Amino acid sequence: MTEIRKGLAGVVVDTTAVSKVVPETNSLTYRGYAVQDLAAHCSFEEVAYLLWYGELPDVAQLQLLCRRERAQRRIDRSILSLIEKMPESCHPMDVVRTVVSYLGAEDAGIDPDGIAAPKDLLARALRLTAVLPTVVAADMRRRRGLDPIAPDSHLGFAENFLRMCFGEVPDQRIVRAFETSLILYAEHGFNASTFAARVVTSTRSDLYSAVTAAIGALKGPLHGGANEAVMHAMLEIGEPERAAGWLRGKLAAEQKVMGFGHRVYKNGDSRVPTMKAALDDVAAVTGGARWLRMYDALERAMAEVTGIRPNLDFPAGPAYYLMGFDIEMFTPLFVLSRITGWTAHIAEQSAGNALIRPLSEYTGVAQRDLLVAGGVG
């Protein structure tokens, strides 16, 4: 009898040099650097460079990357009208997915065989990283009945995005907390969306198709969609004092509590302490003490009842809420960051490609004869 590992749990499917997760020691490194150190000392642009090229940039390399990123932020009329045509009832992840698909169609003439050389892959990765914040900000503002704000090439990645969303650059502590979330969300091994991107890449399809698949995978509430679900749950609970009772009811009904548990970490997510500190900073600036009490109450109750620890989406949800984002925008914020990890993996998969095509064990009806006399044909 073949051993089936449902959901590929515990199965090592390939090697990677992009990041390393060691659940036993709660450690996560990007290209060898601890993610906590990167969050404390680097900009998101430096981390993007590191993921793509394997080394942190020197001053000139960083300047060049930033110049290219800033030069490609604008979206033209066709993209803006595509966003405007999308139903407001659709999820903002549908908008991001559709825009990436459209950008792929615009770019299709360049590589008739679909395969881009590594340099072109990373040029396209940078283009998507530059343009997607403008798309997400424009979509958020249209849902609020507001005109889009053009990008400002004098501002860094995080500041520019926040200004495009809210009309001004917020308090620097908010900017830094947002940038911390971008750095923590950027990369995490063979998670479901990255694996989806690698599967598509393995067929020698193009980068946009791979990213479109990744966005689709990230949208689900068991993956990136959990950061939205966390905040919906906190709002539903309303008061921290109600958290324990709410949680018991949820578990009694055999429902998952969003923002808790992880396929790889069974003893706590390595990124949570850093993001919780960022949430504390945001709460201090915005007067969000109530959500910190909610955080503590839920975390404590979940630990008491199940022993299951929070994942990164648990502090990220209330942090984004307190920054002023609409809840449905939280998972697109994850995209703005993870695009760097996805594309680093697309380049890696492309360079050492093998078609990803596992096997399945058939459990359907045993082979049987077609009874022609019964009137078939």
Would you say 97 or 188 has its CB closer to ligand SDX?
188
Amino acid identity of 231? M
- State whether the Cα torsion 195-196-199-201 is positive or negative: negative
Would you say 141 or 338 has its CB closer to ligand SDX?
338
What backbone phi and psi angles, to 5 degrees, belong to 97? Answer: -60, -45
- Smallest gap from residue 310 Cβ to ligand SDX (A): 8
Choosing from 263, 277, 293, 353, the residue that interacts with ligand SDX (CB under 6 A) is: 263
Q: What is the DSSP letter of 266?
A: S
Owner of token pair 């709002």: 235
The residues in 200-259 that bind ligand SDX, with binding defined as CB under 6 A, are 222-224, 226, 256-259
Binding mask 279-308 for ligand SDX (x = CB under 6 A): ---------------------------x-x
Beta strands in the chain (DSSP E): 19-22, 27-30, 33-34
* β-bridge mates for residue 30, sequence order: 19, 33
Spatial CB neighbours of 102, under 8 Å, sequence gap ≥ 6: 78, 79, 82
**Total of chain residues touching ligand SDX, rule CB under 6 A:** 21
Choosing from 261, 315, 318, 332, the residue that interacts with ligand SDX (CB under 6 A) is: 261
* Contact call for residues 118 and 349 (beta carbons, < 8 A): no
Distance of CA 294 to the CA centre of its chain: 24
Catalytic residue among 139, 262, 269, 345, which? 262
- Smallest gap from residue 346 Cβ to ligand SDX (A): 15
Binding window for ligand SDX (CB under 6 A); candidates: 94-102, 197-205, 262-270, 281-289: 262-270
Q: Is 70 in the site for ligand SDX (CB under 6 A)?
A: no
Could you tell me the maximum CA-CA distance found in the chain, to the nearest angstrom? 80
The first and second tokens of residue 34, run together, are: 């601890």
- Smallest gap from residue 192 Cβ to ligand SDX (A): 6
Q: Strands of 19-22's sheet, edge to edge? A: 19-22, 27-30, 33-34
Is-catalytic flag, 262?
yes
Distance of CA 120 to the CA centre of its chain: 23
Chain residue at closest Cβ approach to ligand SDX: 261
Binding mask 5-24 for ligand SDX (x = CB under 6 A): --x-----------------
The first and second tokens of residue 295, run together, are: 């955080």
Element (H, E) at 284: helix 272-286
What backbone phi and psi angles, to 5 degrees, belong to 20? Answer: -135, 130
- Smallest gap from residue 251 Cβ to ligand SDX (A): 6
Would you say 80 or 308 has its CB closer to ligand SDX?
308
- Smallest gap from residue 223 Cβ to ligand SDX (A): 4
Q: What is the DSSP letter of 270?
A: T
Choosing from 73, 127, 262, 276, the residue that interacts with ligand SDX (CB under 6 A) is: 262
Is-catalytic flag, 171?
no
Distance of CA 231 to the CA centre of its chain: 16
Pairing status of strand 19-22 against strand 33-34: unpaired
Binding window for ligand SDX (CB under 6 A); candidates: 39-47, 119-127, 310-318, 325-333: 310-318
Would you say 134 or 227 has its CB closer to ligand SDX?
227
Binding mask 83-122 for ligand SDX (x = CB under 6 A): ----------------------------------------
Choosing from 141, 188, 198, 219, the residue that interacts with ligand SDX (CB under 6 A) is: 188
Count the Cβ atoms, other than its own, within 10 Å of residue 204: 12
Pairing status of strand 27-30 against strand 33-34: antiparallel
Residues at the interface with ligand SDX (CB under 6 A): 7, 188, 191, 222-224, 226, 256-264, 306, 308, 311-313
- Which residues are tagged catalytic? 262, 313
